[in-house]
Amino acid sequence: MAAEYSALPNQTVPPNRAVEFLDAPCPCNQGFIFKKSAGTFLLASNAPESASCGCGCGCRRLYTTDYGVEAHLNVEIPTGGTVEEVQFALVIDGVIDPASVMLTTPTAVEVASNIGTAVIASVPSVCGCDSIALVNIGTQPVNVVNGALKFDYEGVRRIR
């Protein structure tokens, strides 16, 4: 199952802020992917409960739920901005995923560049869900002309 979201067209994303997305025309119908706000999503754990953990509390410590996450954006430096490197990344539970960092340096102001990334996001069964957002990690506002964010539920895997 998958869910795909389109970026709100022609938005200016300030530094350290998330790209805002429209509601999905075909959202996840299994209840694993939730849109929490305009730019933040929750990925739910689907791991089985297990009484075999060391504490005996019935928690789900031995599994992760994996999601394939793809992001694609057309970005440009707005009028009045400085031509410098544009940086976006997926931020999972407040931490930048280093494998997801996207970099481009447009040739001029108001000239669009395309960036994209694809990563696997693993939701530990202990947490129940993780928040994820596509964030401008650069130093200046950036125009997002259009873009897409796609989540694919990959399944549950035992980690130990």
Per-residue pLDDT of 53-105, as tens digits, reads: 555 555 545 788 899 999 999 999 999 999 999 999 999 999 999 999 999 99
CATH T-level assignment (fold) for domain 2-48+58-158: Jelly Rolls (2.60.120)
Assign 160 a pLDDT band (cuts: 50, 70, 90): low
What whole-number distance in Å separates Cα of residue 78 and Cα of residue 84? 12
Question: Which of the listed ranges 3-7, 56-60, 141-145 does the model predict with the highest average pLDDT?
Answer: 141-145
Domains of the chain by residue range: 2-48+58-158
Instruction: Report how far residue 35's alpha carbon sits from residue 21's, in angstroms, rounded to the nearest whole number.
Output: 9
Nearest-CA neighbor of 10 among 109, 140, 112, 143?
Answer: 143
Query: What's the CA gap between 101 and 140, in Å, rounded?
Result: 16
Is residue 18 within 8 A of residue 134, CB to CB? The reply is yes
Q: What's the pLDDT tens digit per position in 115-133?
A: 999 999 988 776 678 889 9
Q: What is the reported pLDDT for 60?
A: 47
